[in-house]
Chains A and B, each alone.
Chain A
Amino acid sequence: MIQVKNLVKRYGDQKAVDNLSFTIEKGQIYGFLGPNGAGKSTTMNIMTGYLAATEGEVLIDGHNILEEPEEAKRHIGYLPEIPPVYMDMTVGEYLRFVAELKKIPKAEREKQIDDIMELVKITDMEHRLIKNLSKGYRQRVGLAQAVIGYPDIIILDEPTVGLDPKQIIEIRELIKTLGKNHTIILSSHILSEVSAVCDYIMIISHGKLIASDTPENLSEMMVGSNTLELTVKGERGTIVSEFASIPGMDAINYVDSEEDGCTDVTIQTPKNVDLREEIFYKMAGKNCPILKMHFTTISLEDVFLELTQNPDLLEQKDEEAAENRDDVAADEKSEVE
């Protein structure tokens, strides 16, 4: 469907996209995931023909986006980061303009516009000026614009940024609905969004593709570990000696708990090891009640942070970028909470 070959985009001396190659297959939802400034938008702008690449090429259904732009662009619907809407038009006028621009035959236009307005739930807004719409509705109008003509490929650049939680869920549902009949590529720096919607994830950092797989495979691919967090009541010495007798741990850490007379224990175990029952009986034997026990496996979020932060995977890691990633990490945390 889409082939991207050795894409490079330079802005002056800076490489926004660095030798990016991938193939997009028909009928799936793809997610571009990466921290701010990773080159997601630039890549999308090149794929849609808005920008030209410094090197490399993009083939849409076999048509080069620069050499046969009209044929290639016919297959694409694009919602950029900022919805490209005209403030002085009503929703209906705008969608009619887009339909004509995309050369939809006159006979089909009205029906298609009605259907799409129904789909993105803006039918009531048809006669309102776009400048009077809220951000969420403008985003929907932008989405409607991308869907007009029912292109094979729909590219969405951060489709849920700036929306309230309810709208985010609605837009995600909408994207899933669209994904049944279209190939969808969306970008996001929010991991939970990509893992909730996409069949396939591509992680981009510093303009490079550093991982691409299904969400399940990605988390499996990492040599992961399980984490067990406990709060145990009892004497520190007893607890330490008891835990020391349990085999199969990678690491263990003791901290004084906020509760009186308790110890917080954090245990790292290899992937397929589960020590919960054993610990329960050992502590019960010593009359040390377990007040809390929490078992976590490695999440996609850890994969994302690992991949975008691991210095081995990145050639250059300047401080600015590190700062940037920390910001994203903080975003991710709050998002999950």
Chain B
Amino acid sequence: MSAIYKKELRSYLTSMVGYVFMAFILLIIGIYFSAINIGSAWPRIGDTLSNVTFVFLICVPILTMRVIAEERRQKTDQLLLTAPVKVSQIVNGKYFALVSIYLIPVLVIAFYPLILRKFGEVSLGMSYTAILGFLLLGCAEISIGVFLSSVTENQVIAAVLAFLVLFVSYVSEGISGFFPETAGASLAAFVILILLVCLWIQSMIKNVILTGVFAILAEAALVITYVVKSSLFEGSIQKFIGVFNITDHLTNFTSGILDISGIVYYLSIIVIMLFLATQSIQKRRWN
């Protein structure tokens, strides 16, 4: 794993991509920091960070698009996959290299509260909680990018996919606003969602009877729950969409709460995405 980590880190530090990523993050945060914190003499860096989460929409796809897709296109994955290392080690090595690149701008940001302290009272605990949240958010979004880079051998497609997923997650709060908060609306949304999931399963296993049975059972369970206790459904589609709103989980951190559920949430995303990336590489061998 360390071999891949070192190689990946070096390749990002000897090409433009790594520096563009770091420079862009620092530039945007620098602008917001000087406007919000320095210009208005405002002690909470969390407000700056919660305002700049959009940088990930652009930066993360650029950083992660080539990480696995390029290996596949250049056929260098033949070297990695025939070497005595586990696929999960390959994915983890690459992921940690990307996180290390991301750590550099975060370390620079970690000096900002100290700068602010020169001019007055600043709560360091609150500031570093916000920076921790920002770090976790970035790591989670990078893991999504790594997974999406593993599903294609085309860097551009990988970048577009990563952008789309991050963007949908970014605006998911707005999307959930489209749905009325009534139980009926949630039921309808879930019914459609299950059908879509079943279509996807059907395309994977190509067995009409099995998917049919699964679809009917799932829909029936849904309707029975609705009939028995419809209050469960009130606002539930909003909650469901909220799970995918990655940036929303930053709010607690930026307001100074060391949110254990938020930490668990981000770590789960990372673990799931790296697992999916590993599986998607494994699966390709069987095609």
What is the interface of chain A, defined by CB distance below 8 A to chain B? 11, 45, 48-52, 69-71, 73-74, 76, 78, 80, 82, 84-89, 93, 97-98, 100-103, 145
Contact = CB atoms under 8 A, between A and B. Distances in A.
Q: Which of B7, B79, B85 has the most CB of A within 10 A?
A: B79
Contact of B285 (A52, A73, A100): A52
B7 A49 contact: no
A86 B10 CA distance: 12
B84 A87 contact: no
10 contacts: A49-B81, A50-B82, A50-B285, A51-B285, A78-B78, A80-B78, A84-B75, A97-B6, A101-B3, A103-B84
Nearest to B87: A69
Nearest to A77: B82
B83 interface: yes
B165 to A, nearest CB: 28
Contacts of B111: none
A97 B74 CA distance: 17
A299 to B, nearest CB: 35
A86 B76 CA distance: 7
Interface string B273-287: 000000000000111
B158 to A, nearest CB: 18
A84 B15 CA distance: 19
A177 B78 CA distance: 25
B76 A73 contact: no
The B interface, classified by DSSP as helix, strand, loop or mixed, is: helix
Given A50-B285, A52-B286, A97-B3, A78 B15 contact: no
Contact of B84 (A73, A82, A84): A73
Nearest to A86: B76
A90 to B, nearest CB: 10
A50 B81 contact: yes
Given A86-B11, A87-B74, A48 B4 contact: no
Given A48-B78, A73-B83, A101-B85, 17 more contacts: A45-B78, A50-B81, A52-B286, A70-B85, A73-B82, A80-B78, A82-B78, A84-B78, A86-B74, A86-B76, A88-B14, A89-B7, A98-B79, A100-B6, A101-B3, A101-B4, A103-B84
Contacts of A73: 82-84
A80 B83 CA distance: 13
B76 A85 contact: yes
Contacts of A93: 10
Nearest to A99: B3
B80 interface: yes
Contacts of A82: 75, 78
Contacts of A86: 7, 11, 74, 76
B86 interface: yes
Contacts of B3: 97, 100-101
Contacts of B83: 73, 98, 101-102
Q: Which 6 A-B pairs have the closest CB atoms?
A: A100-B3, A84-B79, A48-B82, A73-B84, A52-B285, A101-B3
B2 interface: yes
Given A86-B11, A88-B11, A50 B78 contact: yes
A15 to B, nearest CB: 15
Nearest to A75: B84
Q: In this complex, which of B7, B74, B83, B84 has the most chain A Cβ atoms within 10 angstroms of its Cβ?
A: B83
A11 B285 CA distance: 11
A297 B90 CA distance: 54
B76 to A, nearest CB: 4
Nearest to B70: A86
A73 B2 CA distance: 18
A51 B6 CA distance: 26
A88 B18 CA distance: 14
A84 B70 CA distance: 12
Nearest to B80: A101
Contacts of B81: 49-50
Interface string B1-43: 0111011001100110000000000000000000000000000
Contacts of A102: 83-84
Contacts of B76: 84-86
B80 to A, nearest CB: 7
A264 B14 CA distance: 69
Contact of A78 (B4, B14, B82, B286): B82
A70 B84 CA distance: 4
Interface centre among B2, B4, B7, B74 (most CB of A within 10 A): B7
Given A73-B84, A100-B2, A101-B4, A145 B285 contact: no
Contacts of A101: 3-4, 79-80, 83, 85
A74 B4 CA distance: 17
